[in-house]
Structure 1
Amino acid sequence: MTLAAYTPRSLPEFLNGLFRLALDLRWTWHHGSDELWRALDEETWDSTHNAWLVLNSVSGERLEELEQDPLFQQRYLEQLAAHHKFVNANTWYSEDCAGDLGQGIAYFCMEYGISESLPLYSGGLGVLAGDYLKAASDLGLPVTAVGLLFQQGYFRQAISTDGEQMEFYPYNDPTMLPVSPLRDEDDQWVRVVVPFPGRNVRLRAWKAQVGRCELLLLDSNDPRNEPGDRGITSELYTGDPEKRLQQEMVLGIGGWRLLRQLGRQPGLCHLNEGHCALALIERAFGWQEDHQSDFQTARTATRATNLFTTHTSVAAGFDHFSGSLLRLYLAPWLEGRDLNADQLLELGSERAMTGADSADQRLNMALLALNMSGRINGVSRIHQKVSQTLFQPFFRRWPIEDIPADFVTNGVHTPSWDSPESDAIWTRACGQDRWCRPLPMSCPMTAITDEELWEMRRLQRNRLIGYLRRRLSSQHCEQNPANNHAAACGLLLDHETLTLGFARRFTEYKRPDLLLKDQERLLRLLASRDRPLQIVLAGKAHPYDHRGKEIIRRWKAFSRRPDVEGKVVFIEDYDLGVANQLIQGVDVWLNCPRHPWEACGTSGMKVLVNGGLNLSQYDGWWAEAWNADVGWAIRPGATFEELRSTSEHDLSDARELFDLLEHEVIPGFYDVDEQGLPRKWLQQIRASMDQLTAAY
């Protein structure tokens, strides 16, 4: 399709600034413009939260009407002024660190979770990348991100009448996504070429503006490409290893070529997982060309400013490609270089590092990234030890504690996750621009009364219940009510009941079924008249994860029991929009992976700003954050163990989880004074918000 097909629609001249506002994804976390988009098209905005789609859907008659509306004019001009002020404001980086990062950071990741309106993510890795970009924008860090524009992205989920997960792959029409074609100085659409066996693959470049940062996206759906090549960027995390390698070539090789084509010379290259490792080879090639050197010199020169972050907790999680596949696909790219396919394989070959005999070398992408990077880090203190264990076979005779894997514990972009109620509380306590600079390790809520804090929680829970009812209705609850129509549609969910939330990828090691280990005990908690409990669940199982799908089936069957229906609900098609509602409204966030398989687990960080409390496995970030004042830990003080697939702790962890619920969590929520306030619970909320929000 030509560039003309992506030319924006015509707007009344006075409203042309709407283009600038709609194409800056700052509206995904800065909600000052929400009413502006709602005024344009309330139904489209409320159902999609996609400002660009709203702008392209509204009728010309409506635009002409709003152009004459004094209230809309005022709101529009205020948002234009606020955006101009934001773009031109000094930042923490410009004031305290100006120039420290040279020409900036190039950040590579396979997925980005910025908004549900830009579905280029599957889970935690992408959400972290999205939060990283938003935080970089707030702080003024010069980050340029590189990724892929998927035609389908990750799958959309529905649950059949028998509890079976169904996957759908709707097409992502680029004209309806908040992205625009990346144009060069001559106003031409930027394209990049990557050599493949027997042909070149042409890649179209797009730009998503994320506040002060750019996210550059490549897609292969160019009509001049062969049909198979047009589908390289069709779906995220394909199960086909050949297509997976093609995607990683497009991301790594094509991504770095795009930066060079634009004249960008970032001083640091940061890889978020090993999918992007080929970018470091291409970066070395670029340095080699610029300085007329050999590859080994170029590798040495660039390695010091390459950073590799790994989130993987098991060796099977690293991407591996056979030597024969690598030789086929990389030969055209390496032709004429002083690095051939076998030499590249040596940089990431498990055989070369371990001394094991193998007929066909395999390339470990994480190992390639490690050997091309000056620094590698895990994403929590425990994950550092996990990473050292995973990489120990490649550092023969090294003491495990000397293996050069550091750690930087993940965090979240707090403004993306706070509710309107908590935002007002935090503004009073810590100021308007509190998240735009490094905060001290705490921000006491001394000016906020218990009554105000509890009212915040009550309003958040009320809003969540309303959302759950609407969502369950959209899941066609009337068609399959099991036993009770009202219960299936969420009408039995209660605004004053302790609400437990669990939402993440449904896979065995995350143990989403830990509460189902003792169903009779769970039934007693749900059936309590004086201290009731209600549970909201959400999450997807990978299309090939049959065990994860089975856990979804078990929860759906349990939720339809006559004595349970209405007290346990499953929200289909988990995405960032669903996550935002849940983390703002639940009282307790549950996370119970097998220790030590949780690399970090940032979902629990998102409830902190909203006054939610964590009940989590002592793993990942929670092992660093937890103390008895801020929440509850399962098996606190657990020491690092060797990775294994056994389930030896499942039953004992389930018993401990139920003990905590029965004896501490539920009684604490319902222990109220004469004013109807749970003072000890509120004390925990204060401690959690004060001690943890600023830190994470």
Structure 2
Amino acid sequence: MPNTRNTITASNIHSLIASNQFGTYFGVRQKVLDNVWAQLTHPQGNSVAYISMEIGADPDVYNPIKQRLIDLEHTSTMDNRLKAFINKLFHGPEKIPNYSGGLGVLAGDTLKSFADCKIPVVAISLLYRQGYFSQIVDSKIGQISQAVTWEPESTHGLYQLHDPGRPGQPLQIDVPFYNGGNEPIVIKANVWMKMEINHSLNFFIPEILLDFSLPETPEPFRTAAKQLYNAESSMVKALQRRMLGSGINRALRKLGFTANTYHLNEQHGVIAILQLIVEELEKLLGRTELCEATDQEIMQAADIVAHKTIYTIHTPVKAGHDRFEKALYAGISHKSCQRLLNLLARDEECPHTYNFTTLAMTVNKAANSVSRLHRDVTHKQFPQFADKISAITNGVHHLTWISEARGEVFNHFPALHNWQHDPGVFAKLPSMAKDLKFRNYLNIAWKKDTDILFKFINAMLLQHRDQKFETWIDPPNFFSSFIDRNSRLNPQVFTIGFARRFSTYKRADLIFDNLDTLCDIVVSNNWPINFIFAGKAHPADEPGKSVIKLILDYQKELHQKSNGLANLIFIPNYDMKIAKMMVAGVHAWLNNPKRPLEASGTSGMKAAMNGVPNISIMDGWWVEGYHDGLTGWKFGQEGSVNEANLSENPETLLYSEDSASFYQLLPTILKEFYQSPNNSAFLDKAVMNLLLNIPIFNTHRMAAEYLAKYELHLPDEQAQEMQRFQSLYNSNA
């Protein structure tokens, strides 16, 4: 979806090279680089440091530079430096595997909207040379985890920064640690930067990535640095969190960045806040020995730091909150650090551990959940902090997730001409809701996206069939055993999509709880159906991996009991590119966690961005996005939030109750798909998703709500625009 106002030609492409003391970059003009750097180094600290353990922003899914350079790959007038940049753009790695799922992709979408809205933000994370993991799926074994190998050095938009004081040398930070025997050591990290460039190429967000995977890094630090969420031991997990938190302030200062607001995207980097408290204590006490500081003095320093800290909590699930044994921390931290943790990170449930969520909840001026229902859940879980926990409902970056085919439709209609800049324009759709031309164009685009998805799936199934004879892998799809050139998965069949992390509370196998009932619905009405599933389980999550195996095991039985009318497909190695095809190409999006354990559920928002209706439990964002059935369907248990329904015990996951509710609903959905003339019932819901959900569940609106917490000083025109985005929705109502 190119922006023709900023088309790059052979005559002006050289202007997209810019330099400063840390390196040379491609994609923005010099004045843009200088402007962003000036804002982030402003003496008054009028900027934000956004801290996230993972950031998902794969260049093969959204790349505003590449969209404008398609015809310039072979331009002969380029000098060697420019040719090198272009070569990376078109031939370098297309993925930056620094994310595992929703949290990281949400971070990436947030930063893209910060860039579009020109909010002065610098993001900080780690660079993982083995990424998260690559997923192989075998029908007899299930998920097999394989290390990712990628080349940051060859990746477009990713730069290893240089030390201006040491020509030719990488920019490094020195981070003090303890080696496990309570002996002080110094660990070095190289500093990288990914530029998250906005749609207009006139602003960017620098993502600072710290690479601790250096040859001189000792074990177990090197192991902890290589792979996101490495959980081979509590020590490795603790060190990874320490690397992130301890490197943040040193990296910011090395670059001259002056951010006076810190935004914790989850609690993983909260050690950075602890370091700020130490600095305030040193100012208050006039000394560096802090072990003798009183509780009152520590709380006074913590209160100062709290006034510059925002904390977003993303999950009510216990596994999402970092807890570390005090005995472990005694070996890897200074006594003054332990003194602060003893006061600020108390774990009421287990006095022998430090609770980093408690630390993050304690030291902030504002904490927020990621949906209204999640706010209510968080109030129950942290009643002592309820007065400062509000809701800022998640969103998604509409420019990333709206398909090219849908975007072309929106470009065609004058009422939506500004949709790329302002997702609020979709609120104007009431005048177009019954426009036959608009509905027809939208329907054609939907079919085009479905064809794209099915072309990918059928090619994958053929490849899996061939792999059975060429590799040791048993194909992960039963359909591969009989697919041929004349027998393909049919895109005209009603298709439900489901893709997310496989964790037991998300209940990926819920709708297959009673295959006889499911197949009876399909066979008795002769209504064929496809189920397209994808997602990874954490390598250490054995119950989650067992759910993937169950999905694989259901395929043959489902196909046979339905007389071939129902087919279940699993797409291995789920990533952002697969996600974008799925959310645009299916006919409905499924989400069935145990309520109220799904804090948000942004994949459903991505489907809604394309007009695809959701079929969902009333949990997370869907409580706000359902609109009394105008945008999709609901099923399953509802009711108030209490301790009983917060249980993650397998015996309390309500399989029989919620699956029965789904089976009761499914005939209605299938009837609407197969019997409504001209697909009218589904198009009604598609249009209402565009009208009601795009203006709400976008990261521009979300960024505006965060901006109100940041209290930055922006130019009047920019501040007014952000107020307009904020007026689209009040998450905390």
- After TM superposition, is the score higher than 0.5? yes
Name which of 648, 651, 675 aligns with 1:671: 675
Tell me how far apart the structure 1 counterparts of residues 150 and 577 of structure 2 sit (CA, whole Å): 17
Q: Normalised by the size of structure 2, how large is the TM-score? A: 0.76
Q: In the alignment, what sits opposite 2:537?
A: 541
The residue correspondences of 1:292-441 to structure 2 (distance < 5 A) are 296-331=299-334, 339-351=336-348, 358=351, 361-392=352-383, 395=384, 402-429=386-413, 430-437=415-422, 439=424
2:190 aligned residue (194, 204, 208):
204
Q: Which residue of 1 aligns with 2:227?
A: 235
Structure-2 separation of matches of 1:661 and 1:343: 54
Change in Cα spacing, 1:287 to 1:653, as seen in structure 2 (3 Å) is same
Show the counterpart of 1:253. Answer: 246
Spell out the pairing of 1:610-689 with structure 2 (5 A cutoff): 610-626=610-626, 627-635=628-636, 638-642=639-643, 643-644=646-647, 645=649, 646-647=651-652, 649-663=654-668, 665-673=669-677, 677-689=678-690
Q: Which residue of 1 aligns with 2:200?
A: none
Check conservation: 1:109, 1:276, Cα contact below 8 A.
yes
Q: Is contact 1:609–1:693 with CA below 8 Å preserved after alignment?
A: yes
**What is the one-letter code of the residue matched to 1:260?**
R
After superposition, what is the alpha-carbon deviation per residue over 1:276-309, rounded to whole angstroms, capped at 9, x for unaligned?
1111112234455678867554432221120111
Q: 1:102 to 1:194 in 2, by over 3 A?
A: closer
Superposition map of 1:422-501 within 5 A = 422-429=406-413, 430-437=415-422, 439=424, 442-444=427-429, 446=432, 448-476=437-465, 479=468, 485-487=481-483, 491-501=487-497
Specify whether residues 405 and 443 from structure 1 end up closer, same or farther in structure 2 by C-alpha distance, changes over 3 A only.
same
Aligned partner of residue 560 in structure 1, secondary structure: helix
Give the drift of 1:620. 0.5
Higher RCO, 1 vs 2 (CA within 8 Å, ≥6 residues apart): 2
**C-alpha displacement of 1:238:** 1.9
Inter-partner Cα distance in structure 1 for 2:539 and 2:240: 19
Residue identity in the other structure for 2:51: F
Q: CA deviation at 1:363?
A: 0.7
SS in 1 for 2:424: coil
Unaligned runs of 5+ in 2: 19-25, 59-93, 198-203, 287-296, 469-473, 698-733
CA deviation vs aligned residue, 1:233-259 (integer Å, no higher than 9, x gap): 111112211111111111011112111
1:104 counterpart = 2:47: yes
Superposed counterparts of 1:482-561, under 5 Å: 485-487=481-483, 491-527=487-523, 530-561=526-557
Aligned residue identity for 1:456: A
How far apart are 1:433 and its partner, in Å? Answer: 4.3
Partner of 2:691: 690
Q: Please give the alpha-carbon distance, in whole angstroms, between the structure 1 residues aligned to 2:536 and 2:29.
A: 40
Q: How far 1:364 sits from its partner (Å)?
A: 0.3
**Alpha-carbon distance in structure 1 between the residues aligned to 2:235 and 2:268:** 13
1-structure distance, mates of 2:285, 2:416: 53
Q: In 2, distance between residues paired with 1:126 and 1:101?
A: 30
Moved more, 175-184 or 215-224: 175-184
Uncovered stretches (5+) of structure 1, i.e. residues with no partner: 1-28, 37-71
2:254 corresponds to 1:264: no
Displacement after TM superposition at 1:168 (Å): 0.3
Q: Is the 8 A contact 1:592 1:616 kept in 2?
A: yes
Partner amino acid, structure 1, of 2:570? F
1:279 is matched with which residue: 269, 272, 275? 272
Give, as a single letter, the amino acid of the residue that structure 2 aligns with 1:545. D
Aligned equivalent of 1:138, options 82, 98, 116? 116
SS in 2 for 1:568: strand
SS at match of 1:492: coil
- Aligned residues: CA RMSD: 3.4
Amino acid across the alignment from 1:670: Y
After TM superposition, the score normalised by the length of structure 1 is: 0.80
CA–CA separation in structure 1 for the residues paired with 2:123 and 2:310: 14
Would the aligned equivalents of 1:526 and 1:534 in 2 still touch at CA under 8 Å?
Answer: no
Provide the residue aligned with 2:96 in structure 1. Answer: 118
1:181 counterpart residue number:
160
Whole-Å Cα distance in 2 between the matches of residues 132 and 227 of structure 1? Answer: 34
Paired residue secondary structure (2:224): coil
Q: Letter of the aligned partner of 1:667 in structure 2?
A: K
d(CA) in 2 for partners of 1:305, 1:489: 61
Amino acid at match of 2:580: N
Deviation at 1:530, TM superposition (A): 4.7
Aligned residues: 605
Mapping of residues 581-620 of structure 1, within 5 Å? 581-620=581-620
Q: Please give the residue correspondences for 1:43-62 in structure 2 after superposition, counting only pairs within 5 Å.
A: none
The change in CA–CA distance for 1:319 and 1:483 in structure 2 (over 3 A counts) is closer
2:171 paired residue among 171, 190, 193: 190
Range moving further from structure 2, 162-171 or 619-628: 162-171
Q: CA deviation at 1:527?
A: 4.5
Post-superposition Cα deviations, 1:625-654, rounded to whole Å, max 9, x if no partner, equal: 212111101147533232113436321211
Q: CA deviation at 1:345?
A: 2.0
Q: Is the 8 A contact 2:44 2:258 kept in 1?
A: no
- The CA distance in 2 between the partners of 1:669 and 1:79, in whole Å, is 48
**Alignment partner, residue 223 of structure 1:** 215
